[in-house]
Amino acid sequence: MLSIENITHSIDAWLNSAFNPTVALLLEYLIVGLFAISLFAILGLVLVLMERKVSAYMQVRLGPNRVGPGGSLQTVADTLKLAMKEGLTPDGADKFLFNLAPYVVIAVAMMILAPIAFAKGTQLWDLNIGVLYITAVSSLSVIGILMAGWASNNKYSLLGAMRSGAQIVSYELSAGLSVISIVVLTGSLRISDIIASQQDGWWLFKGHVPAFIAFIIFIIAITAETNRAPFDLAEAESELTAGFHTEYSGMKFALFFLAEYVNIFIVCGIAATLFLGGWMPLHIGHWTAFNHVMDYIPSSLWFLGKIFTLIFVIMWFRWTFPRLRIDQLLNLEWKYLLPISIVNLLLITLIAIEGWHF
């Protein structure tokens, strides 16, 4: 069966047979880099189109329907438009930090890709602290946002950046506790171990009600961390023009825009890995025949299917709920989600110690 795993093994075997090990390794690094850049570009095109089509469906309208078959090339046209626009820098801005900020944000998104397993045997870096690495690196994105807001020399940009900083730092706590819940159940920080532990069932189902609560809290927290509505206070158009990227144009604005959608893909990939088995097919206990049929679906399709289902849920949030005020946003985290997460973590720890999970 054609799968990503077979393709990667074939490429590795061919390179090692045609070149010496050092050159083969360097070429593999180059291919991985090109894959990451290509993935980012494709995700930007696909997810923006998906956003527009989902919003059109929610609002009972057509959405993009002029450029290309069914409007499928609308995002390509938008990308060409952004590429041709002049990138302006305000006179009073700190030019070095202003120009550096979008690259910091996109670089952080690329770094988070490393430990994620896209399919069986297809993982850039299976380090033994994969979950800790993802949590630590993802928190760096707020630096790029704060850098953009302060360097723009614009009060709306600064207010948006400060809101984003408070929001991301706050909701990282609940997201982190939800992640720790799965680490407690698994007993490992390695991504491959977490996926392997779900071979006989996903943690969303095996971990009883506390695992489901952790999943719901994680989805709410990552929606807030990616500045998505109803938590988009950092770029509230009705109040702050465009928030921290008000002064950005051209490709620098496109990098912020791209990073937002890539981050949605990444956090949904993390949610799918922790709670839904990653690339692991749906297996139910000792249902041998059912599990065998599920194994026929390629692991990469399982992973992408879970990710895009979660992305649809996050987009559903945007077109369903009104934007919160900043005080409501922080109250939700500090007065509700964080206490619930702490109690829930204690329950999951008890379940893990007593072995009550399936």
Residues 63-103: tens digit of each pLDDT: 898 888 988 899 999 888 888 888 888 888 888 999 999 99
Average pLDDT, rounded, for the chain: 87
Residues 275-333: tens digit of each pLDDT: 999 898 887 777 888 888 888 888 889 999 999 999 999 999 888 888 888 888 889 99
Asked whether residue 131 carries a pLDDT value surpassing 80, the answer given is: yes
Asked whether residue 5 carries a pLDDT value surpassing 70, the answer given is: no
Tokens of 283: 């297996």
Q: What does the DSSP 8-state code read for residue 290?
A: H
Largest CA distance in the chain: 68
Q: What pLDDT sits at residue 200?
A: 81
| pLDDT band with cut points at 50, 70 and 90 for residue 218 | very high
Which residues make beta-bridge pairs with 123? 117
Q: What pLDDT sits at residue 237?
A: 66
What number of other Cβ atoms are within 10 A of residue 150's Cβ? 19
Per-residue pLDDT averaged across 158-166, rounded? Answer: 86
Phi/psi class of residue 241: alpha, beta or left (left: φ > 0; alpha: ψ in -120 to 50)? left
Q: What pLDDT sits at residue 3?
A: 60
Q: What pLDDT sits at residue 253?
A: 86
Distances (CA, A) of 320 to 59, 164, 316: 10, 22, 6
- pLDDT higher at 229 or 145: 145
Per-residue pLDDT averaged across 33-46, rounded? Answer: 88
Burial of 330 (0-12, 13-18, 19+ CB in 10 A): middle
Question: Do residues 150 and 240 touch, judged by C-beta distance below 8 A?
Answer: no
Per-residue pLDDT averaged across 49-65, rounded? Answer: 91
Asked whether residue 177 carries a pLDDT value surpassing 90, the answer given is: yes
The answer, yes or no, to whether the previous bond of 230 is cis (omega within 30 of 0) is: yes
Distances (CA, A) of 27 to 3, 15, 24: 21, 8, 5
| pLDDT band with cut points at 50, 70 and 90 for residue 23 | confident
| pLDDT band with cut points at 50, 70 and 90 for residue 211 | very high
Distance CA 310, CA 16 (A): 38
Question: Do residues 284 and 293 touch, judged by C-beta distance below 8 A?
Answer: no
Q: What pLDDT sits at residue 4?
A: 67
Asked whether residue 273 carries a pLDDT value surpassing 80, the answer given is: yes
Asked whether residue 1 carries a pLDDT value surpassing 60, the answer given is: no
Tokens of 68: 């290309």
What number of other Cβ atoms are within 10 A of residue 354's Cβ? 8
Weakest mean pLDDT among 41-45, 188-192, 219-223, 231-235: 231-235
Nearest to 120 by CA among 228, 255, 277, 326: 277
Asked whether residue 235 carries a pLDDT value surpassing 90, the answer given is: no
